[in-house]
A = this chain, B = another copy of it.
Amino acid sequence: MSSHRGQTRDEIIEAARTLFYRRGYARTSFSDIVNHTGIQRGNIYHYFRTKDDILDAVIRQLASEYRAALSAWDTELPDPKDRLRRFVHMVMSNRENLIRYGCPIGSLNTELGKETTCATRESARQLFDLFRDWLEEQFSKLTDPQQARSLALHLLGRTEGISLMGHVYHDPDYISSEVKMIEKWIDTL
């Protein structure tokens, strides 16, 4: 178990995360990771048996970070509306990356959702689950709890659509105006 911790392992995960995001999972090779880190090929296999195992570790780290962020928002912001605003603000503050590479969760699920892909598809979807459940919790405090799940999926779909079209057209102004529309909608809840 001690061989599964440590700096080298973290470096591999960090590089893989960046490369999977920028180039996609299928198009990222071990050589890419080697070139990006300086870690030799054979050594990578000391920490991960397969490429899928690396992807799994990357997804786990993403999930961990997202959970921490949502937890922090819960602590900082008592008002559910402010929490929703904070979520939407994430799209704004992350505009540059979204425009360049799209949404990390959305593009990953798009790639892994295709045929022939492994068991990792489910864990990628669970990244969405994190936000869906958290959003549902906020909406349930603001409106009819029966509709909270639908509203959560609605907001997720809105932000994913914004990320995708903002990415396709490299258009920060589109993202800004769409985010403002959602903020006005949140005000009316």
> Which residues does A use to contact B, with CB under 8 Å?
22-24, 26-27, 101-102, 106-107, 109-111, 113-117, 125, 128, 150, 153-154, 156-162, 164-165, 167-169, 171, 174, 177-178, 181
Contact = CB atoms under 8 A, between A and B. Distances in A.
For the complex, would chain A's binding face be called helix, strand, loop or mixed by DSSP majority?
helix
Given A159-B161, A160-B164, A164-B164, 12 more contacts: A23-B116, A24-B111, A26-B27, A109-B167, A109-B168, A110-B110, A110-B164, A113-B167, A128-B168, A150-B174, A153-B171, A156-B165
A18 B181 CA distance: 37
Contact of A109 (B27, B128, B164, B181): B164
A157 B150 contact: no
Contacts of A107: 110, 114
A109 B164 CA distance: 9
Q: How many copies does the complex hold?
A: 2
Interface centre among A22, A115, A150 (most CB of B within 10 A): A115
A114 B23 contact: yes
A157 B91 CA distance: 14
7 contacts: A24-B111, A106-B164, A113-B168, A154-B181, A156-B165, A157-B164, A159-B161
B26 A24 contact: yes
Contacts of A169: 125, 128, 153
B161 A177 contact: no
Contacts of A157: 158, 161-162, 164-165, 174, 178
Contacts of A102: 110, 113-114
